[in-house]
Amino acid sequence: MEKNSMEEFQRSTVPRKNVIEFRPPLYKQRYFFVKDIVNQYKPKKVADLGCGNATLLCMLKFHSCVQELVGVDLLMDRLLDWNSDKLSPSIGDHLGPRDLDLSIVLYRGSAVEKDSRLLGFDLITCIELIEHLDSEDLAKFPEVVFGYFSPGMVVISTPNSDFNPLFPASTFRNSDHKFEWNQTQFQHWASNVAKLYSYTVEFTGVGAPPPWAKHVGYCTQIGIFKKKQPDPGSWILAKPTGSRVSEPEEHAYQVVFTASFPSLQQKHFLLFVLCTEVLKEVEAIRQKYVWIMKRKESSEPESEEDTDSGLVRRPGLFLTDAQVAQIEKSPKPYSVGKRFYVPLKRLIGYPKVNRLVADVSTLRTLLAEGIPMRLNRAHTSVQIDLDPYDYPHDYR
Protein backbone atom coordinates (compact mmCIF):
# COMPACT_ATOMS: atom_id res chain seq x y z
CA MET A 1 0.00 0.00 0.00
CA GLU A 2 1.33 3.47 -0.88
CA LYS A 3 2.29 5.81 1.90
CA ASN A 4 -0.54 8.29 1.33
CA SER A 5 -3.07 5.48 1.13
CA MET A 6 -1.72 3.97 4.34
CA GLU A 7 -2.06 7.33 6.18
CA GLU A 8 -5.64 7.70 4.95
CA PHE A 9 -6.40 4.15 6.10
CA GLN A 10 -4.90 4.82 9.53
CA ARG A 11 -6.88 8.08 9.92
CA SER A 12 -10.10 6.34 8.96
CA THR A 13 -9.58 3.54 11.49
CA VAL A 14 -8.63 5.75 14.45
CA PRO A 15 -11.82 6.63 16.42
CA ARG A 16 -12.47 10.35 16.49
CA LYS A 17 -14.62 12.27 18.98
CA ASN A 18 -17.78 13.78 17.64
CA VAL A 19 -17.56 17.54 17.33
CA ILE A 20 -19.81 19.18 19.94
CA GLU A 21 -21.64 22.21 18.60
CA PHE A 22 -24.06 24.36 20.56
CA ARG A 23 -26.85 26.29 18.89
CA PRO A 24 -27.17 29.01 19.93
CA PRO A 25 -23.53 29.30 21.04
CA LEU A 26 -22.89 28.43 24.66
CA TYR A 27 -22.10 32.00 25.73
CA LYS A 28 -25.45 33.14 24.36
CA GLN A 29 -27.24 30.35 26.19
CA ARG A 30 -25.70 31.58 29.44
CA TYR A 31 -26.87 35.13 28.75
CA PHE A 32 -30.34 33.96 27.74
CA PHE A 33 -30.52 32.02 31.00
CA VAL A 34 -29.91 35.23 32.97
CA LYS A 35 -32.48 37.06 30.83
CA ASP A 36 -35.03 34.40 31.76
CA ILE A 37 -34.18 34.87 35.44
CA VAL A 38 -34.74 38.61 35.10
CA ASN A 39 -38.03 38.04 33.29
CA GLN A 40 -39.19 35.73 36.05
CA TYR A 41 -38.13 37.62 39.17
CA LYS A 42 -38.21 41.25 37.95
CA PRO A 43 -35.18 42.54 39.87
CA LYS A 44 -34.71 46.31 39.97
CA LYS A 45 -30.97 46.33 40.72
CA VAL A 46 -28.65 43.93 38.91
CA ALA A 47 -24.86 43.64 39.07
CA ASP A 48 -22.64 41.46 36.89
CA LEU A 49 -19.27 40.61 38.43
CA GLY A 50 -16.60 39.82 35.85
CA CYS A 51 -18.76 41.49 33.22
CA GLY A 52 -16.10 41.35 30.48
CA ASN A 53 -17.22 43.40 27.48
CA ALA A 54 -20.59 44.10 29.15
CA THR A 55 -22.58 42.15 26.55
CA LEU A 56 -24.92 40.83 29.24
CA LEU A 57 -25.58 44.35 30.49
CA CYS A 58 -26.35 45.46 26.93
CA MET A 59 -29.04 42.78 26.81
CA LEU A 60 -30.48 43.50 30.26
CA LYS A 61 -30.91 47.24 29.68
CA PHE A 62 -33.99 46.47 27.59
CA HIS A 63 -35.83 44.93 30.55
CA SER A 64 -38.38 47.45 31.81
CA CYS A 65 -38.12 46.23 35.42
CA VAL A 66 -34.39 46.98 35.71
CA GLN A 67 -33.56 50.42 37.09
CA GLU A 68 -29.89 50.01 37.97
CA LEU A 69 -27.24 47.99 36.14
CA VAL A 70 -23.68 47.62 37.39
CA GLY A 71 -20.74 45.85 35.80
CA VAL A 72 -17.43 45.08 37.52
CA ASP A 73 -14.25 43.83 35.83
CA LEU A 74 -10.51 44.18 36.34
CA LEU A 75 -9.88 44.73 32.60
CA MET A 76 -12.68 47.25 32.13
CA ASP A 77 -10.82 49.87 30.06
CA ARG A 78 -9.74 47.46 27.35
CA LEU A 79 -13.03 45.55 27.24
CA LEU A 80 -15.23 48.65 27.11
CA ASP A 81 -13.82 50.10 23.89
CA TRP A 82 -16.43 48.59 21.55
CA ASN A 83 -19.47 48.42 23.84
CA SER A 84 -19.68 51.86 25.51
CA ASP A 85 -21.93 53.21 22.74
CA LYS A 86 -24.30 50.27 23.18
CA LEU A 87 -24.68 51.13 26.85
CA SER A 88 -25.43 54.81 26.19
CA PRO A 89 -28.90 56.25 25.45
CA SER A 90 -29.68 56.43 21.73
CA ILE A 91 -31.87 58.92 19.86
CA GLY A 92 -34.64 56.36 20.06
CA ASP A 93 -34.32 56.27 23.85
CA HIS A 94 -35.00 60.02 23.92
CA LEU A 95 -37.93 59.86 21.49
CA GLY A 96 -39.48 56.90 23.29
CA PRO A 97 -38.39 57.13 26.94
CA ARG A 98 -38.59 54.15 29.31
CA ASP A 99 -41.31 54.01 31.94
CA LEU A 100 -38.75 53.81 34.78
CA ASP A 101 -35.35 55.39 35.32
CA LEU A 102 -32.28 53.36 34.35
CA SER A 103 -28.70 54.07 35.37
CA ILE A 104 -25.70 52.04 34.22
CA VAL A 105 -22.34 52.15 35.98
CA LEU A 106 -19.19 50.20 35.11
CA TYR A 107 -16.41 49.81 37.64
CA ARG A 108 -12.83 48.65 37.40
CA GLY A 109 -12.36 46.29 40.29
CA SER A 110 -12.24 42.74 41.59
CA ALA A 111 -15.13 40.49 42.61
CA VAL A 112 -13.31 39.81 45.89
CA GLU A 113 -13.12 43.48 46.90
CA LYS A 114 -15.81 45.03 49.08
CA ASP A 115 -17.50 48.15 47.72
CA SER A 116 -20.53 49.58 49.51
CA ARG A 117 -22.03 50.80 46.23
CA LEU A 118 -23.01 47.18 45.51
CA LEU A 119 -25.02 46.82 48.70
CA GLY A 120 -28.76 46.29 48.40
CA PHE A 121 -28.89 44.62 44.98
CA ASP A 122 -31.65 42.21 44.02
CA LEU A 123 -29.51 40.06 41.71
CA ILE A 124 -25.77 39.54 41.29
CA THR A 125 -24.51 37.37 38.43
CA CYS A 126 -21.11 35.72 38.15
CA ILE A 127 -20.99 34.18 34.69
CA GLU A 128 -17.88 32.05 34.10
CA LEU A 129 -16.02 33.95 36.81
CA ILE A 130 -15.03 31.75 39.75
CA GLU A 131 -12.79 29.45 37.70
CA HIS A 132 -10.52 32.46 37.07
CA LEU A 133 -9.92 32.96 40.81
CA ASP A 134 -6.85 31.55 42.52
CA SER A 135 -7.27 29.68 45.80
CA GLU A 136 -6.78 32.81 47.92
CA ASP A 137 -9.37 34.85 46.02
CA LEU A 138 -11.78 31.91 45.86
CA ALA A 139 -11.67 31.72 49.65
CA LYS A 140 -12.58 35.44 49.87
CA PHE A 141 -15.33 35.28 47.25
CA PRO A 142 -18.23 33.90 49.38
CA GLU A 143 -17.68 36.39 52.22
CA VAL A 144 -17.66 39.35 49.80
CA VAL A 145 -20.57 38.32 47.56
CA PHE A 146 -22.85 36.45 49.97
CA GLY A 147 -21.76 37.92 53.29
CA TYR A 148 -21.09 41.58 52.44
CA PHE A 149 -23.07 42.34 49.26
CA SER A 150 -25.81 39.91 50.41
CA PRO A 151 -28.16 40.30 47.40
CA GLY A 152 -31.57 38.70 47.13
CA MET A 153 -30.30 36.29 44.48
CA VAL A 154 -26.95 35.15 43.08
CA VAL A 155 -26.45 33.25 39.82
CA ILE A 156 -23.08 31.54 39.35
CA SER A 157 -22.05 29.61 36.24
CA THR A 158 -18.83 27.65 35.77
CA PRO A 159 -17.54 24.94 33.39
CA ASN A 160 -18.47 21.34 34.18
CA SER A 161 -15.31 19.27 33.89
CA ASP A 162 -17.39 16.08 33.57
CA PHE A 163 -18.22 17.36 30.10
CA ASN A 164 -14.62 18.00 29.03
CA PRO A 165 -13.84 14.46 27.73
CA LEU A 166 -16.41 15.09 24.98
CA PHE A 167 -14.21 17.81 23.53
CA PRO A 168 -11.28 16.94 21.20
CA ALA A 169 -8.79 18.26 23.77
CA SER A 170 -9.64 17.21 27.31
CA THR A 171 -7.86 20.08 29.04
CA PHE A 172 -8.96 23.31 30.69
CA ARG A 173 -11.20 25.29 28.36
CA ASN A 174 -9.27 28.50 28.92
CA SER A 175 -5.60 29.01 29.69
CA ASP A 176 -6.52 31.46 32.47
CA HIS A 177 -8.69 28.94 34.35
CA LYS A 178 -7.23 28.06 37.73
CA PHE A 179 -9.52 25.04 38.10
CA GLU A 180 -12.56 23.39 36.54
CA TRP A 181 -14.91 21.53 38.85
CA ASN A 182 -17.00 18.48 38.13
CA GLN A 183 -20.64 18.41 39.19
CA THR A 184 -19.97 16.90 42.60
CA GLN A 185 -17.26 19.44 43.45
CA PHE A 186 -19.32 22.46 42.40
CA GLN A 187 -22.44 21.30 44.19
CA HIS A 188 -20.48 20.54 47.36
CA TRP A 189 -18.89 24.02 47.35
CA ALA A 190 -22.16 25.79 46.50
CA SER A 191 -24.16 23.90 49.13
CA ASN A 192 -21.65 24.80 51.85
CA VAL A 193 -21.71 28.46 50.82
CA ALA A 194 -25.51 28.52 50.78
CA LYS A 195 -25.70 26.95 54.25
CA LEU A 196 -23.11 29.31 55.72
CA TYR A 197 -24.81 32.50 54.44
CA SER A 198 -28.49 31.50 54.76
CA TYR A 199 -29.26 30.94 51.09
CA THR A 200 -30.98 28.13 49.27
CA VAL A 201 -29.38 26.79 46.09
CA GLU A 202 -30.65 24.81 43.14
CA PHE A 203 -28.60 23.44 40.28
CA THR A 204 -29.16 23.46 36.56
CA GLY A 205 -27.15 24.40 33.47
CA VAL A 206 -26.98 25.15 29.77
CA GLY A 207 -25.37 23.27 26.92
CA ALA A 208 -27.14 19.92 27.05
CA PRO A 209 -24.98 16.84 26.38
CA PRO A 210 -25.57 14.61 23.35
CA PRO A 211 -28.03 11.72 23.85
CA TRP A 212 -25.23 9.18 24.17
CA ALA A 213 -23.54 11.07 27.04
CA LYS A 214 -26.34 12.34 29.25
CA HIS A 215 -24.46 11.18 32.36
CA VAL A 216 -21.92 14.02 32.04
CA GLY A 217 -24.53 16.73 32.64
CA TYR A 218 -24.63 20.24 31.20
CA CYS A 219 -21.54 21.75 29.64
CA THR A 220 -22.01 24.83 31.84
CA GLN A 221 -23.25 24.16 35.35
CA ILE A 222 -25.24 26.85 37.13
CA GLY A 223 -26.13 27.47 40.76
CA ILE A 224 -29.11 29.69 41.59
CA PHE A 225 -28.84 31.03 45.15
CA LYS A 226 -31.82 32.67 46.85
CA LYS A 227 -31.62 34.42 50.19
CA LYS A 228 -33.80 32.70 52.77
CA GLN A 229 -36.73 34.68 54.08
CA PRO A 230 -38.53 34.34 57.41
CA ASP A 231 -41.98 34.54 55.81
CA PRO A 232 -42.34 32.35 52.70
CA GLY A 233 -45.63 34.06 51.89
CA SER A 234 -44.04 37.47 51.42
CA TRP A 235 -42.11 38.63 48.38
CA ILE A 236 -40.84 35.90 46.07
CA LEU A 237 -37.24 36.73 47.03
CA ALA A 238 -35.97 37.90 50.38
CA LYS A 239 -35.04 41.54 50.29
CA PRO A 240 -31.28 42.09 50.06
CA THR A 241 -29.68 42.95 53.37
CA GLY A 242 -26.71 44.77 51.90
CA SER A 243 -28.27 48.18 52.58
CA ARG A 244 -27.28 48.06 56.24
CA VAL A 245 -27.16 51.59 57.60
CA SER A 246 -24.40 50.73 60.06
CA GLU A 247 -22.01 49.58 57.31
CA PRO A 248 -19.24 52.15 56.68
CA GLU A 249 -18.83 53.20 53.06
CA GLU A 250 -16.11 51.39 51.17
CA HIS A 251 -15.24 52.46 47.64
CA ALA A 252 -12.66 50.02 46.33
CA TYR A 253 -13.87 50.25 42.71
CA GLN A 254 -13.03 52.93 40.17
CA VAL A 255 -15.83 54.33 38.02
CA VAL A 256 -15.00 54.10 34.32
CA PHE A 257 -18.42 54.61 32.72
CA THR A 258 -21.84 55.99 33.66
CA ALA A 259 -25.06 56.46 31.72
CA SER A 260 -28.53 57.66 32.66
CA PHE A 261 -31.51 56.89 30.45
CA PRO A 262 -34.51 59.15 29.76
CA SER A 263 -37.71 57.98 31.44
CA LEU A 264 -41.27 59.00 32.09
CA GLN A 265 -40.30 59.50 35.74
CA GLN A 266 -38.45 62.62 34.57
CA LYS A 267 -41.02 65.38 34.16
CA HIS A 268 -39.68 66.98 30.97
CA PHE A 269 -39.72 63.62 29.18
CA LEU A 270 -43.20 62.85 30.50
CA LEU A 271 -44.41 66.22 29.22
CA PHE A 272 -42.86 65.60 25.82
CA VAL A 273 -44.41 62.15 25.40
CA LEU A 274 -47.79 63.20 26.83
CA CYS A 275 -48.11 66.26 24.59
CA THR A 276 -47.08 64.18 21.58
CA GLU A 277 -49.69 61.49 22.28
CA VAL A 278 -52.43 64.03 23.04
CA LEU A 279 -51.77 65.97 19.84
CA LYS A 280 -51.82 62.73 17.83
CA GLU A 281 -55.20 61.79 19.28
CA VAL A 282 -56.64 65.28 18.89
CA GLU A 283 -55.51 65.51 15.26
CA ALA A 284 -56.90 62.06 14.46
CA ILE A 285 -60.23 63.00 16.07
CA ARG A 286 -60.28 66.28 14.18
CA GLN A 287 -59.77 64.58 10.82
CA LYS A 288 -62.55 62.08 11.53
CA TYR A 289 -64.81 64.88 12.80
CA VAL A 290 -64.37 66.93 9.63
CA TRP A 291 -64.94 63.85 7.46
CA ILE A 292 -68.25 63.13 9.23
CA MET A 293 -69.38 66.76 8.88
CA LYS A 294 -68.66 66.71 5.16
CA ARG A 295 -70.71 63.55 4.75
CA LYS A 296 -73.63 65.16 6.57
CA GLU A 297 -73.53 68.25 4.38
CA SER A 298 -73.39 66.17 1.22
CA SER A 299 -76.70 64.54 2.18
CA GLU A 300 -75.21 61.07 1.91
CA PRO A 301 -77.15 58.31 3.68
CA GLU A 302 -76.15 57.99 7.32
CA SER A 303 -74.09 55.01 8.40
CA GLU A 304 -72.51 53.79 11.62
CA GLU A 305 -69.43 55.82 10.66
CA ASP A 306 -71.48 59.00 11.17
CA THR A 307 -72.33 58.20 14.80
CA ASP A 308 -70.27 58.94 17.90
CA SER A 309 -69.03 55.35 17.77
CA GLY A 310 -67.73 56.08 14.28
CA LEU A 311 -65.97 59.14 15.63
CA VAL A 312 -64.27 57.04 18.30
CA ARG A 313 -63.16 54.13 16.13
CA ARG A 314 -60.60 54.56 13.36
CA PRO A 315 -58.08 52.40 11.47
CA GLY A 316 -55.01 51.57 13.51
CA LEU A 317 -56.68 52.31 16.87
CA PHE A 318 -57.44 49.17 18.85
CA LEU A 319 -60.04 49.62 21.57
CA THR A 320 -62.05 47.15 23.59
CA ASP A 321 -65.83 47.49 23.67
CA ALA A 322 -65.53 48.73 27.27
CA GLN A 323 -63.07 51.45 26.23
CA VAL A 324 -65.33 52.53 23.37
CA ALA A 325 -68.30 52.69 25.72
CA GLN A 326 -66.33 54.80 28.21
CA ILE A 327 -65.24 57.27 25.53
CA GLU A 328 -68.77 57.52 24.10
CA LYS A 329 -70.11 58.50 27.54
CA SER A 330 -67.61 61.36 27.81
CA PRO A 331 -68.21 64.91 26.48
CA LYS A 332 -68.07 65.03 22.67
CA PRO A 333 -65.55 67.06 20.62
CA TYR A 334 -66.94 70.24 19.06
CA SER A 335 -65.95 73.21 16.96
CA VAL A 336 -66.59 76.94 17.34
CA GLY A 337 -65.68 79.10 14.38
CA LYS A 338 -62.18 78.15 13.33
CA ARG A 339 -61.39 76.35 16.55
CA PHE A 340 -61.75 72.66 17.35
CA TYR A 341 -61.98 71.32 20.91
CA VAL A 342 -61.54 67.86 22.43
CA PRO A 343 -62.56 67.57 26.11
CA LEU A 344 -59.95 66.21 28.49
CA LYS A 345 -62.53 63.78 29.87
CA ARG A 346 -62.67 62.21 26.43
CA LEU A 347 -58.90 62.14 25.88
CA ILE A 348 -58.29 60.33 29.18
CA GLY A 349 -60.24 57.38 27.77
CA TYR A 350 -57.69 56.68 25.04
CA PRO A 351 -55.20 53.98 26.16
CA LYS A 352 -52.00 55.76 25.10
CA VAL A 353 -53.00 58.84 27.08
CA ASN A 354 -54.41 56.95 30.05
CA ARG A 355 -51.15 54.96 30.32
CA LEU A 356 -49.30 58.20 31.01
CA VAL A 357 -51.75 59.89 33.39
CA ALA A 358 -54.40 58.30 35.58
CA ASP A 359 -56.93 61.14 35.94
CA VAL A 360 -58.20 64.30 34.30
CA SER A 361 -56.82 66.57 37.02
CA THR A 362 -53.24 65.37 36.40
CA LEU A 363 -53.77 65.58 32.64
CA ARG A 364 -54.96 69.18 32.96
CA THR A 365 -52.03 70.19 35.16
CA LEU A 366 -49.41 68.68 32.87
CA LEU A 367 -50.95 69.95 29.62
CA ALA A 368 -51.11 73.46 31.06
CA GLU A 369 -47.30 73.30 31.26
CA GLY A 370 -46.88 71.72 27.84
CA ILE A 371 -45.58 73.69 24.88
CA PRO A 372 -47.14 74.27 22.34
CA MET A 373 -50.27 72.77 23.93
CA ARG A 374 -53.31 75.06 24.04
CA LEU A 375 -56.29 74.63 26.35
CA ASN A 376 -59.58 76.52 26.35
CA ARG A 377 -60.18 79.18 28.97
CA ALA A 378 -61.80 76.75 31.38
CA HIS A 379 -58.89 74.30 30.94
CA THR A 380 -61.35 71.53 30.18
CA SER A 381 -60.49 70.89 26.50
CA VAL A 382 -57.53 70.86 24.16
CA GLN A 383 -57.86 73.47 21.43
CA ILE A 384 -56.45 73.32 17.90
CA ASP A 385 -57.29 74.96 14.56
CA LEU A 386 -60.17 73.35 12.76
CA ASP A 387 -58.59 74.52 9.47
CA PRO A 388 -60.53 77.25 7.61
CA TYR A 389 -60.37 75.24 4.41
CA ASP A 390 -62.39 72.48 6.04
CA TYR A 391 -65.17 73.85 8.20
CA PRO A 392 -65.25 77.39 9.57
CA HIS A 393 -68.68 76.66 11.09
CA ASP A 394 -70.13 75.99 14.50
CA TYR A 395 -70.79 72.27 15.00
CA ARG A 396 -71.43 72.17 18.73
Quick one: 247 and 226 in the same domain?
A: yes
**Taking the CA of residue 388 as centre, how many other CA atoms within 13 Å lie in the half-sphere pointing to its CB?**
0
Is 369 a member of any domain?
yes
Q: Are residue 362 and residue 253 in the same domain, yes or no?
A: no
Secondary structure class of 90 (helix, strand, coil)? coil
Confidence of residue 6 (pLDDT cuts 50, 70, 90): very low
Confidence of residue 9 (pLDDT cuts 50, 70, 90): very low
Residue partners of 39: CB distance under 8 A and separation at least 6: 63
Is residue 201 within 8 A of residue 194, CB to CB? The reply is yes
392 lies in a domain? no
**Beta strand 334-336 with 339-343: parallel, antiparallel or unpaired?**
antiparallel
Task: Using the predicted structure, report yes or no on whether residue 185 has a pLDDT greater than 50.
Answer: yes
Q: What DSSP string describes 42-60?
A: --SEEEEET-TT-HHHHHH
Q: What are 259-316's pLDDT values in tens digits?
A: 999 999 999 999 999 999 999 999 999 988 888 888 777 766 665 555 555 677 677 7
3-class secondary structure, 159? strand
Output phi, psi for 107, to 5 deg.
Answer: -115, 145
Q: Domain total for the chain?
A: 2
If you write DSSP's letter for every residue of 331-376 in order, what string do you get? PPPEEETTEEEEEHHHHTTSHHHHTT-SSHHHHHHHHHH-SS--B-
Residue 26 reports pLDDT greater than 70: yes
Return the CATH number at 220: 3.40.50.150
Mean pLDDT confidence for 136-161: 97
More confident residue, 245 or 146: 146
Please state the rounded mean pLDDT for residues 15-37.
85
Are the C-beta atoms of 189 and 181 separated by less than 8 Å? yes
pLDDT tens track for 54-90: 999 999 999 999 999 999 999 876 656 656 788 999 9
Asked if residue 281 and residue 234 are part of one domain, the reply reads no
Shared domain check, 347 and 226: no
> Per the domain annotation, does 325 fall within a domain?
yes
Task: Examine the domain organization and report whether 121 and 92 are in the same domain.
Answer: yes
- Please indicate, yes or no, whether residues 287 and 249 belong to a single structural domain of this protein: no
Centroid of chain to Cα 228? 25
Residue 327 lies in a domain: yes
- Give per-residue pLDDT as tens, 356-391: 999 999 999 999 887 767 999 999 999 999 875 554
Lowest-confidence segment of 100-109, 117-126, 335-344, 385-394 by average pLDDT? 385-394
Task: Evaluate if residue 395 carries a pLDDT over 50.
Answer: no
For residues 32 and 38, give the distance between their C-alpha atoms in angstroms, rounded to a whole number: 10
Are 250 and 272 part of one and the same domain? no
CB proximity list for 335: less than 8 A, separation 6 or greater: 289, 341, 386, 391, 393, 394, 395, 396
pLDDT digit string, tens, across residues 319-334: 888 888 888 899 999 9
Asked whether residue 394 carries a pLDDT value surpassing 50, the answer given is: no
pLDDT at 46: 98
Contacts of residue 244, Cβ cutoff 8 Å, sequence gap at least 6: 119
Please provide the average confidence, as pLDDT, over all residues in the chain: 86
Where residue 295 falls (left for φ over 0; alpha for ψ -120 to 50; beta otherwise) is: alpha
Q: How far apart are CA 82 and CA 70, in angstroms?
A: 17
* 53 within a domain of the structure (yes/no): yes
72 lies in the same domain as 162: yes
Distance CA(391)–CA(293), nearest Å, equals: 8
Give the separation between CA 11 and CA 8, rounded to whole angstroms. Answer: 5
Choose between 244 and 345: higher pLDDT. Answer: 345
Amino acid 295: pLDDT: 77
209 and 227 share one domain: yes
Weakest mean pLDDT among 41-45, 107-111, 139-143, 283-287: 283-287
Residue 14 covered by a domain: no
Of 261, 287, 319, which closes a domain?
Answer: 261
**Residue 12 lies inside a defined structural domain of this protein:** no
Q: What is the band of 246 on the pLDDT scale with cuts at 50, 70, 90?
A: low
Average pLDDT over residues 208-232: 90
Same-domain pairing of 223 and 285: no
Spatial distance between the Cα atoms of 368 and 389, rounded to a whole number of angstroms: 28
pLDDT at 241 (0 to 100): 58
The model scores a pTM over 0.75: yes
**240 and 286 fall within a common domain:** no
Nearest-angstrom CA–CA distance, 291 and 343: 19
Residue 393: is its pLDDT beyond 50? no
SS3 content of the chain, % helix, strand, coil (to 5): 40, 20, 40
Q: Which residue has the higher pLDDT, 192 or 245?
A: 192
Residue range 334-351: mean pLDDT, rounded: 93
pLDDT of residue 245: 45
Asked whether residue 38 is domain-assigned, the answer is yes
Q: Is pLDDT larger for residue 339 or for residue 388?
A: 339
| Domain range for 235 | 26-261
Q: What is the mean pLDDT of residues 106-134?
A: 97
Residue pLDDT, tens place only, 113-126: 999 999 999 999 99
Decide if pLDDT at 10 tops 70.
Answer: no
- 178 shares a domain with 57: yes
